[in-house]
A and B are shown apart, each in its own frame.
Chain A
Amino acid sequence: MEFLNLQDAIARHVEDGDQVALEGFTHLIPFAAGHEIIRQGRRDLTLIRMTPDLIYDQMIGMGTARKLVFSWGGNPGVGSLHRLRDAVECGWPAPLEIVEHSHAAMANAYEAGASGMPCALFHGYLGSDLPRVNGDIRFVECPFTGESLACVPAFRPDVAIIHAQKADREGNVLIEGIVGVQKEAVLAARRAVVTVEELVDDFGPRSSNAVIMPGWTLSAVVVAPHGACPSYAHGYYSRDNAFYIAWDRIARERESFLAWMRENVLR
């Protein structure tokens, strides 16, 4: 683990063509890191994320992605992700290959990756059309009961990127609140970059069961205050729901989207 600034962390750990997982289930979405990937002009990424959210809408709209692995691609509580839809429906700014799962499958695939397993087994996809359009969804027979179990390959991203509340001086990272699949994504990935709200001398009073990623499981730790905006960081700032609602209008047209990105991300 090393402490880096955001620019260096992305330059060193995210390469063109990588499989990248930026995780955070509504909470602690690593927007600052995603924006840095856009600014550095990465291309041909395979983006993995359960809920693409606005950050992947922005990355897809700016042409960083070749492929998207996801399970729910909407603007939560608001409607569509217009840039994702434009890429899938019209191939703009580039055609986007999609690998589509359910939440249960993706959560299991991360857990399998973290556990060093080649695949995940679970009760799933029964009666659904998803296995017809995603060749990664297979079924195997349980050797003990004969039941048909869904089977998907483990996720082993080249790099996982997450945002968290605190890092200490040794680079250990504390995550609180809705913890989603962040721990699994970090442990499944070959490299892991964590942005944090603040660096502290000591985490202070906490539960013995607090979610802490030891520094030695991470590649880089970056101090990036407000790095999850407009999503939220439990204990620091709340979700900017008004921006999520406003994004619907901003992203609806290509021109207004590009203007917003130029004004707020690129410069």
Chain B
Amino acid sequence: MSGVPANVGPVSDDAVLVQADGLVKRFGDFEAVRGVDVKVHRGEAFGFLGPNGAGKSSTMRMIACTSPRTAGELRVLGLDPDRHGPEIRGRLGVVPQQDNLDNELTVRQNLQVYGRYFGLSRKQVRARATELLEFAQLSDRADDQVEPLSGGMKRRLTIARSLVNEPELLLLDEPTTGLDPQARHLLWDKLFRLKQQGVTLIVTTHYMDEAEQLCDRLVVMDNGRIVAEGSPAALIAEHSSREVLELRFPIDQQQPNVPLVQDLADRVEVLPDRLLLYATDGESVLAAANGRGVRPTSSLVRRATLEDVFLRLTGRTLVD
């Protein structure tokens, strides 16, 4: 893992790398981001969790200094993106939502061409490309064209490319969307390694498991606003019970059962195919419900997740 990132400069560990105050992005009449306040510290893995259209990507593009803000204050690496865009971009790594690789170049050329943009010499980019190919486990495909690679390989290459300049801050917009479970775990492993090396990560995702795995701290976004903020554990503790009892019923049978279980739980959510009962002890609630004659087709007791937090805060599930 030699030579991959952690360009930790002569700044103290609690340095603020990103600070946004009242950040707004408007597209014509549509307000995508409506006054967002965030602070990301060096070394942190910070997440934006929210459904599609919540304003995560717009926020990321403003931080990446590719999209000018409409209003509010923003400092990235202590600088104003409006005035120091190129300088800031030179110290960032960006993994966009959709891979924007050069499909007609080879894997290696993608890394080399991109590295040149950050002021590396031809010799430096050759060395750097070799290291990153290793990191992304793409060494044996180095001189193949990008086009026929699998989705997971292209994603790894995009991430490798974003590291070519040893960025201080890595922005990942939905890094694993569209990948199969195996490819996702491989990517998470890569991101963990980066985090351990001290690279500051900002991740957007609509997967709770991804947010829980990767993020030290996250904000939940909905409709362009931040609706909650904290560590995954703190958010669950604050906004949900410890356990959740899921009761599945045949179609349209869950509503008549609501009055029977209402008082057994702290809260009941009615989803199209099941009831969610929030309680400290799921098993005892299940026993009590059975005692009252509630007969679900199946039941499950699980620990609360960020999905439950999101459901509580917005009344909707994340991925629909």
Asked if A and B are interacting partners, one says no
